[in-house]
Amino acid sequence: MNKTIFDFTIASIDGGKINFADYRGKKILIVNTASECGFTYQYAQLQELFEHYSEELMVIGLPSNDFGGQEPGSNAEIEEFCNVRYGVTFPLSAKISILKNPHPLIEWLQKQSSENNTPIEIRWNFHKFLFDENGNFLEAFNSATDPADGLILKYII
Whole-number Å distance between alpha carbons of 43 and 62: 12
Residues 99, 100, 101, 103, Cα dihedral to 10°? -30
Whole-number Å distance between alpha carbons of 46 and 40: 10
82 is catalytic: no
Q: In sequence order, which residues have a C-beta less than 8 Å from that of residue 150 and are 6 or more positions away?
A: none
Of 60, 62, 63, 82, nearest in space to 131 by CA:
60
Whole-number Å distance between alpha carbons of 41 and 7: 30
CB contact at 8 A, 57 and 26: yes
Catalytic residue among 37, 60, 88, 94: 37
CA angle, 75 then 81 then 87, to 5°: 120
Q: Which residues are catalytic?
A: 37
